[in-house]
Amino acid sequence: MTTQNTESAGVSTAQDSNQSDVLLNVQNLKMHFPITRGIILQRQVGSIKAVDGITFELMRGETLGLVGESGCGKSTTGRAILQLYEPTAGEVIFEGQDLTEINSGELRRMRRRMQMIFQDPYASLNPRMTVGSIVGEPLEVHKIGGSRREQQQRVQELLEIVGLNPYFINRYPHEFSGGQRQRIGVARALAVNPSFIVCDEPISALDVSIQAQVINLLEDLQSEMGLTYLFIAHDLSVVRHISDRIAVMYLGKIVELADREELYENPLHPYTQALLSAVPIPDPEIEKKRQRIILEGDVPSPAEPPTGCNFNTRCPQVMEICHQYEPSFADVGDGHRVACFLYDEVESLDESGQPVSHTA
């Protein structure tokens, strides 16, 4: 299985990433949350496999879109990468250092390089702090930005960068609209000059006409500062717009990863196909002609994922083998990777003329 291969290859990849322009290398990342029973003597009776072995790389300056439905583990992935959770297994190699190995002091220093923008601009800003102290806090924590005066100047500069009036520095979050609050969140993330930002559904809480403002802001900042984004969202139209490459998650696993155009024009995994066909397009002419793939049923519980392929309970093209074995996350050419036996088998037949026997 791929998982074993990637584990052994992890060390060498870490060294490679110093030379090439891989900014982040995630290898077989797992994040399981324990389910416990009992009040005094708590014993673990199972685990929620929120993220269950995902592997991908992020190049410097690129935007990787991470899409999936609620509960697929996309936000957990973002948080586990930033070590906001302690991952159960796997490696997160950021700028050549494995974040899961280093101690908390080193980790805090690394946090200057990686930041996060949250979904809910109402919950992610402390209502009792002024905009100045919210945006300035990272400067204080990391003891950068010099004297108080210099820090204040830096904060005003940041507000200007994100399109807010620097004069707002002493106002409180409730005085701002949703879109403006999200700009404050962006300014806070930028304060420490990060190279990598996890954007966790940064626009889903905003109105349509405001969403475009924030998307444009994120794009501008990227081209000015060379930022790298992991853009987590459930809206495929937005992800297509902003991403260079896109990873599709289902039930804790990445099922497909490809360049933006390739993924939309040539989706291979049945889940990706269904997901794309479900996205409504604001054009009645097209909508009338479209054939939807309507998936039956709901996503299974991540505490008891089905054996074999995760998607076998809902897949319209399910085969015998899907119930027995787990497909590997294989490259089908040009960096287009997919975890599905539909493609696994075709490839093996081409090489040997016989179907490959799959062993778990």
Partner 1 sequence: MGNLIEVRNLQTQFFTQDGIVHAVNGINYDVAEGETVAIVGESGSGKSVGVMSLIRLIPEPPGKIVNGEVNFDGQDLLQLNEEELRQIRGNRIAMIFQDPMTSLNPVLTIGRQITEALELHLNMNREESRARAIELLELVGIPDAGARLDDYPHQFSGGMRQRVMIAMGLSCNPQLLIADEPTTALDVTIQAQIVDLVTRLQSELGMAIIWITHDLGVVAGLADRVLVMYAGFIVEEGPVDVIYGQPRHPYTLGLLRSIPRLDLGRQKRLIPIEGLPPDLLDPPQSCPFAPRCPFVIDKCLEENPPLMSIDAVRKSACWVDLSDVEIYDTSADEQVEAVA
Measured from the CB atom, the residue of 43 and 289 that comes closer to partner 1 is: 289
Q: Would you count residue 317 as binding partner 1 (CB under 8 A)?
A: no
Q: How far is the CB of 157 from partner 1 (least distance, A)?
A: 22
Alpha-helical (H) ranges within the chain are: 2-19, 74-81, 104-110, 131-141, 148-161, 178-190, 208-225, 236-242, 260-265, 270-278, 284-289, 320-324, 341-352
3 state SS of 229 = strand
Among 281, 346, 349, 356, binds partner 1 (CB under 8 A): 281
DSSP-derived secondary structure letter, 300: P
Does position 310 interact with partner 1 (CB under 8 A)? The reply is no
Q: What are residue 330's phi and psi, to 5 degrees?
A: -105, 150
Q: How far is the CB of 184 from partner 1 (least distance, A)?
A: 15
Number of residues that this document lists for the chain: 360
The residue within the footprint of partner 1, chosen from 85, 168, 264, 325 (CB under 8 A), is: 264
Location of structure tokens 């501008």:
220
CB half-sphere exposure, 135, CA atoms < 13 A: 33
282 part of the interface to partner 1, by CB under 8 A: yes
Q: How many CA atoms lie within 13 A of 76 on its CB side?
A: 28
Site string for partner 1, 61-80 (x = CB under 8 A): --------xx----------
Binder among 66, 164, 257, 274 for partner 1 (CB under 8 A): 274
Rule CB under 8 A: is residue 295 a binding residue for partner 1? yes
Instruction: Report whether 158 contacts 184 (CB < 8 A).
Output: no
Helix (H) or strand (E) holding 131: helix 131-141
Min CB(232)–partner 1 separation in Å = 14
No. of helices (H) and no. of strands (E), the chain: 13, 12
- For residues 201 and 234, the answer to whether their CB atoms sit within 8 Å is yes
Of 104-123, binders to partner 1 (CB under 8 A) are none
Phi, psi of 54 (to 5 degrees): -120, 150
Nearer to partner 1, 139 or 255 (CB): 255
Instruction: Decide: is 39 part of the binding site for partner 1 (CB under 8 A).
Output: no
Position among 278, 346, 349, 356 found at the interface with partner 1 (CB under 8 A): 278
Do 64 and 231 meet the contact criterion of CB atoms below 8 Å apart?
yes
CA distances from 335 to 18, 65, 252, 332 (A): 20, 15, 21, 7
User: Given the complex with partner 1, which of 143 and 289 has the nearer CB atom?
Assistant: 289
Site pattern 206..245 for partner 1 (x: CB under 8 A): -xxxxxxx-xx--x--------------x-xxx-xxx---
Residue closer to partner 1, measured from CB, 1 or 276: 276
Site string for partner 1, 140-179 (x = CB under 8 A): -------------------------------------x-x
Place of tokens 């702090």: 129
Least Å distance, CB 169 to partner 1, is: 20
Q: What is the DSSP string of 177-218?
A: -HHHHHHHHHHHHHTT--SEEEEESTTTTS-HHHHHHHHHHH
Q: How far is the CB of 209 from partner 1 (least distance, A)?
A: 4
Of 154, 214, 157, 208, nearest to 181 by C-alpha is: 214
Q: Does position 288 bind partner 1 by CB under 8 A?
A: yes
What number of chain residues touch partner 1 (CB under 8 A)?
43
**What residues make contact with partner 1 under the rule CB under 8 A?**
69-70, 177, 179, 207-213, 215-216, 219, 234, 236-238, 240-242, 261, 264, 274-288, 290, 292, 294-295, 298
